[in-house]
Structure 1
Amino acid sequence: MEDLIAVLTSWSVQFIAALVFLYVLLKVFKRVRYAGGKRPPGPPSLPLIGHFHHLLFGLPHHSSAKIAEKYGLIVWLELGAVRVVVVTYSDIAREVLKTQDHIFASRRPLIMADMVFKRGQNLGLSPWDDHFRLFRKIFTTELLSQNRIDSSKDFRRQMTLRTLRTAFEEGHGNRYINLADLSHNQFLYLTTRMLFRTDGHAQNKDLLEITHDFISAGGLVIEDFFPLLKSLDLSGQVRRLKNIGERYFKIMDSIIDNRLKENSNSKSNTEEDFLDVLLATSTFSRVQVQLLLLGIIVGGTDTSADSIVWAITELLWHPNIMERLQRELDDVIGKERLVEKADLNNLEYLQAVVKETLRLHPVAGLGVPHYSTEATKVAGHNIPANTWVILNIYAIGRDPQDWENPLKFDTSRFLNSPVDVRGHHYEVLPFGAGRRRCVGMNLALVCVAYIAQLIHACTISLPEGLTHLDVDVEEKFTLTVARRDPLNLLMKRRLPLDVYRKAGLQFSDV
C-alpha cells in the first residue's frame, strides 16, 4: 500500500512538473512571437502567474483602475496563460466598441460558458456568429418588442403590489427588511412571469437559489487563466458550476414538460409567453431554449435589483436629493394614485437619479470580456489576435477627464444634458455599446419605475440610531458589483390608505 502511495505521489509531482514546464514553454513562445510589437504598457510580471499579484488585494475593478492610474489608460496584463488589455478611458472605449467593433465583438470560451451554458449557447457568452445573431433577433423581436413590454405592464404592476404588501407588513410590525433580498425576489418573479408564466413559489425559490449561487460563483474562475489545471479543479469552481447547471436543467425540464402537455391550440398570440415562442421555433433545440431562458433570468434579476439597491443607498445618503425626488413625484403624480410607466417621461429628476446611479455604480463593473478575432491596433498599440479586452466601466464612469467631481453623487450633471446611458456616449456605459450592448437595456430602463414607486409610496427609514451619515457604499465583486452589506430598512405607507386600496392592496392593520 505504501509503495502504491509512493508511486501515485511521484506521478502527481511529475505530472504537475510537466504542466509547469509546458506552461513555461508556451509563455516563452508567446513572448518571442509578440516581442516585436508595441503592446500597451503594463506593470512588472512574475513567472507563471504574470500580473495576478497586482490584482490579489482589493476588488478587481478597483485594482485595475489603480494600475491604469500608474501605467496608462490602456494597459497590458498577462494573467496566467491569458493576454488581457484593460481600457479605462472613454475615447479608447469608443475605438473598441464602435470603430473596431467588428474585431472585438466576440467572446472567448469560458469555463462558466462551458459548464453551465454548454459552450456559450446564450446571448451574453456566445461568440459573434450566426447563432448569436439568431438568438438576438428572436430575443429583441419576441421578448423585447414594444407590444411584449406593454403587455407585461400587468406583471410589473403585480410585482409592485407584491413588494409594497411585503414591505408594509414588515413595516407595520416595526421589522426591518433587507432591500436586496426583497428586490431580487420580486425581479425574479417579474422575469419568470414574462418568460414562462410561472408563479410557483417552490420553483421560484429554487431558481432564486440557483441564480444566487451562479452570481456568487462569479464570471471567471482560476482555471480560465490556467487551462492546464482545469482537469484538476483545484478551486472547486468547475464542479460547482457543473452542479449549478444540473440543478437548473432539472427545474427547466419539469417546466417544459408541463408546458408541452398543455393544449396550446386554443391560445391566441397575445397569450403566448416567451417559452411558447421558443418551443414553436424549430431552429432551437431543447437545451438551447433552456440556456436562453437561463441567460435572461440571470441577466434580468440581479442586475436590476442591485441597481435599485444602489439608487436607494445614494438617496438615503443624500436626503436632499431624496426630498427633491419626492417633490417631483408629488407634483407630477400627486398623492391620489401610484406611479405608472406612462409617467416616466415626465419625471426628469427621476431620470437624472437613475443615470447618476448607473454612472457611479454600474453593476457590470468590468463587463464581459471582449475577444479580438484578429490582430489590430488600438490607441497606437498592437493588440494580438485572441486577446481579451476588458472595459473597466466602473473606472470610465469615474474618470476626472470626463466628469467634474467624479466621485460625488451629483444628479444635476444629467439635468438638461444630452448624455444618456444607452451606449451612445462612451463616458458612461452601464449597458455597454456596439454589437454586444445589453439587449435587455430597454426593459431594464422601464424598471426604473420601481425606484419611483418605492420613493413615492413609502416612507423609508434606516435602523434606529443611524443617520444618513452612517450609510456606506462598500462593494462586493461577484458576477455583479453589489453592496457588500445588507441595506436593512423600515418601510411604511406614505400615501392615504385609499390609494393603496384602489390599486388592489388590502391591509388587515387598519
Structure 2
Amino acid sequence: MSKTSMEGLIAEFKSWSMHSVAALVFLYILLKDFKRIRHKSGRRPPGPPSLPLIGHFHHLLFGLPHHSLSKIADKYGPIVWLDLGSVSVVVVSSSDMAREILKTQDHIFASRPAVLLGDMLFAKGEDLLFSPLNDNFRLMRRVVSTQLFSQQRIDSFQDLRRESAFKMMQTAFEEGHANRHISLSDLMHEQFMSMTTRMLYGMDGHAQTQQLLEIVRDLTHTGWFVIEEYFPLLKPFDPSGEVKRLKKLGQKYFDLMDSIIDQRLKEISNSKSNREENFLDVLLAMSNFTRLQVKGLLLDNIFGGSDTSPDTIVWAITELLRHPNTMERLQNELDDVIGKERLVEEADLNKLEYLQAVVKETLRLHPVGVLGTPHFSTEATKVAGYDIPASTRVMVNFYAIARDPKVWENPLKFDPSRFLISPVDVKGQHYGVLPFSSGRRKCPGMNLALVSVAYNIALLVHACSISLPEGLTSLDVDVEEKFGLTVSKRNPLTLLIKRRLPSVVYAEA
C-alpha cells in the first residue's frame, strides 16, 4: 500500500473515530436529559444499578437474555425497570404481572414499539406482528383470523398436514434404513416450511422452500437486542453489522416474494377459475392492502408457522429421550388407544390424554417465544403501584413465569402428569403458562399449532423407532438453548429413525 493510501486510510479512521466519540458523548448527554425529564416525578419500578451511557444493557451482553432477566427478577421483584441505552423497558416476570399487562390493562399495553426488525422486514410495522394498536392492526387480525385460522380453514388443511407428516416419515425411514442419522430439527423445519407455503400460496417449490428456510433461520438469529435499536445514534455506523445484515435479508425476502406474487397475478389474469383460492389470493383481492403489507403479512405467517412448531416438537422429543419412563408411558397410551394396526390420525388426538399433557408440559418448560414480542404503552398508567409512562416498552418473560416455584411444584422438572390433575391450559386463560401469549396480541395460529405439534409428536412416538447415536444414552441428551427471536435447541438432536409398526400399516396409510 502506498504512503498516500496509508495516510488516507489513517485520516478516514481518525475521522470515523472522532464522529463515533462525538456521537457517544452527544448520546450520553441526551440520555441524561431524557431520563431527568422523563422521571423527575413518579415512582418507577425497581431495578439494578445502571452504568453511565449504556444503562442496564451490560446485563444482556453475556449469557442468555431470558436467563439474565429471570435473575434480575429474582432479586428485584416481578416488575423491574431497565434503561437500555435510550430505551426504557419494563420487564414483568410473574403470572400476576402478566395478567395485569395482558388482560386488565391490555387496552393500554397491546401496541407495539417501532423496531429495526419491523422496519427492515415486516412491512415497516404495517404487518400484524409489529403493527401498533390501530385500525391497520384490527383489519390485519380480522383477515388472518377469518381467512387463514378459522376452524373451518384449519380443518380444510387436515389432508395437507397428513401428507406432509407422511412425507417427513418417509424421508426419515429412508435415512434410517441406510443406518444414517438425521437432524430432527432440519427434518421438522423443512416439513413445516413446505406445509406453510402450501397453505399460504399453494406452491411447494423445493428451491423456494430452501430459500425461505435460510431467511427464517437468519431472521430468528437476530434477537430482540440489536444495539443500534437502543443506541439509535450508532445506527449510521452500524457497529454490530446488524443494520446491513437485516437490510440484505429484507431485500432477499422481498425479491423472492415479489416473484411469487407476480407469478400468482399472472395466473389470476389467465382466469384459472377452477384453482382453489388460497390466502395470497385473498390478500391480493383486497384493494386496501399494499404489496408491502401483503409481503409483511405473509412473512408473519411463514415465520410463525415454520419455526415455532418445529422447535417445540424438537424440545418434546428431547425431553422424552431424556426421560425414558415418560416416553414409555406415552408409547403405551398410543398403543392402547390406537393399536399397532393403523397410524394415529388427528381425530384421535382428543382421546390421548397423556399426549396432550406432554404437549402442555413441553410448552411450559420450553416456550420458544421466551420474551414474546415487545409491548408498548399508549398512555401513562400504574402497575402494582408503580408509574409507567406512556411510550414505555414492556416485555413479558414467559420463560420465568412458567418456571416460577410459587406457581409450579418442582418447576424445572419435566413432568407431564402435572397437567393430568390440573385444569390449567396453555391457551392464554391461565397466566402461569403463556406459550401463545394472551389478550389482543395472542398468537392467532394457536389452534393450528396445537394440533400440528400434537399430531407430529404422536406419529414420531407411535410409528417410529427412535434411537440415539451409538454410545449415547438418555443422560447425554442436553437441553442447552440458543437465543434469538425464538429459543431453540443449541446442539442438534441427531437420531436414527426406523419403522416401529408392521410394514403393512405404512403401505395402507
Q: TM-score, normalised by structure 2?
A: 0.96
Contact kept? 1:107, 1:126, Cα under 8 Å = yes
Contact kept? 1:176, 1:489, Cα under 8 Å = yes
Structure-to-structure mapping, 1:257-272, within 5 angstroms: 257-263=262-268, 265-267=271-273, 271-272=276-277
Residue 268 of structure 1: how far off its partner (Å): 5.5
Alpha-carbon separation, structure 2, partners of 1:233 and 1:6: 20
Residue 59 of structure 1, aligned match among 43, 46, 64: 64
One-letter amino acid of the counterpart of residue 311, structure 1: A
SS, match of residue 133 in structure 2: coil
Aligned to 1:12: 16
Which range is displaced more, 4-13 or 228-237?
Answer: 4-13
Residue 251 of structure 1: how far off its partner (Å): 1.2
Alpha-carbon separation, structure 2, partners of 1:130 and 1:466: 54
Residue 461 of structure 1, aligned match among 454, 467, 479: 467
One-letter amino acid of the counterpart of residue 480, structure 1: T
Alpha-carbon separation, structure 1, partners of 2:126 and 2:325: 46
Residue 493 of structure 1, aligned match among 492, 495, 499: 499
Contact kept? 1:38, 1:382, Cα under 8 Å = yes
Which range is displaced more, 207-216 or 90-99?
Answer: 207-216
Alpha-carbon separation, structure 1, partners of 2:166 and 2:118: 36
SS, match of residue 476 in structure 1: strand
- Unmatched runs of 5 consecutive residues or more in structure 1: 504-510
Cα-to-partner distance string for 1:397-431 (whole Å, 9 max, x where unaligned): 00001001000011111003211001100000000
2:84 pairs with 1:92 = no
2:168 pairs with 1:150 = no
SS, match of residue 188 in structure 2: helix
Contact kept? 2:375, 2:393, Cα under 8 Å = yes
Alpha-carbon separation, structure 2, partners of 1:63 and 1:298: 26
SS, match of residue 497 in structure 2: strand
Residue 170 of structure 2, aligned match among 161, 165, 190: 165
Cα-to-partner distance string for 1:466-491 (whole Å, 9 max, x where unaligned): 11111111111011111110000111
Residue 21 of structure 1, aligned match among 25, 35, 53: 25
Give identity over the alignment, percent: 63
One-letter amino acid of the counterpart of residue 245, structure 2: R
One-letter amino acid of the counterpart of residue 30, structure 1: F
Contact kept? 1:278, 1:284, Cα under 8 Å = yes
CA 1:10/1:458 → structure 2, altered by over 3 Å: closer, same or farther?
closer
Structure-to-structure mapping, 1:380-395, within 5 angstroms: 380-395=385-400
Aligned to 2:287: 282
Residue 218 of structure 1: how far off its partner (Å): 2.5
Residue 508 of structure 2, aligned match among 488, 498, 502: 502
Structure-to-structure mapping, 1:438-457, within 5 angstroms: 438-447=443-452, 448-457=454-463
Residue 7 of structure 1: how far off its partner (Å): 5.8
Aligned to 1:507: none
Report the number of matched residues.
502
Alpha-carbon separation, structure 1, partners of 2:62 and 2:410: 26
One-letter amino acid of the counterpart of residue 287, structure 1: L
Contact kept? 2:123, 2:295, Cα under 8 Å = no
Aligned to 1:248: 253
2:330 pairs with 1:325 = yes
Cα-to-partner distance string for 1:352-384 (whole Å, 9 max, x where unaligned): 000000000000011111111111111111111
Aligned to 1:308: 313
Alpha-carbon separation, structure 2, partners of 1:313 and 1:3: 57
Residue 419 of structure 2, aligned match among 394, 414, 417: 414
Aligned to 1:186: 191
Alpha-carbon separation, structure 1, partners of 2:386 and 2:356: 38
Contact kept? 1:65, 1:395, Cα under 8 Å = yes
Alpha-carbon separation, structure 1, partners of 2:227 and 2:10: 29
Contact kept? 1:111, 1:220, Cα under 8 Å = no
Q: TM-score, normalised by structure 1?
A: 0.96
2:44 pairs with 1:39 = yes
SS, match of residue 360 in structure 2: helix
Which range is displaced more, 13-22 or 114-123?
Answer: 13-22
One-letter amino acid of the counterpart of residue 36, structure 2: V
Aligned to 2:484: 478
Alpha-carbon separation, structure 2, partners of 1:161 and 1:6: 61
Aligned to 2:34: 30
One-letter amino acid of the counterpart of residue 485, structure 1: N
Alpha-carbon separation, structure 1, partners of 2:432 and 2:242: 34
One-letter amino acid of the counterpart of residue 248, structure 2: N
SS, match of residue 427 in structure 1: coil
Residue 102 of structure 1: how far off its partner (Å): 0.8
Aligned to 1:102: 107
Residue 454 of structure 1: how far off its partner (Å): 0.8
Alpha-carbon separation, structure 2, partners of 1:5 and 1:170: 54
- Unmatched runs of 5 consecutive residues or more in structure 2: none
Residue 12 of structure 1: how far off its partner (Å): 3.2
Which range is displaced more, 132-141 or 245-254?
Answer: 245-254
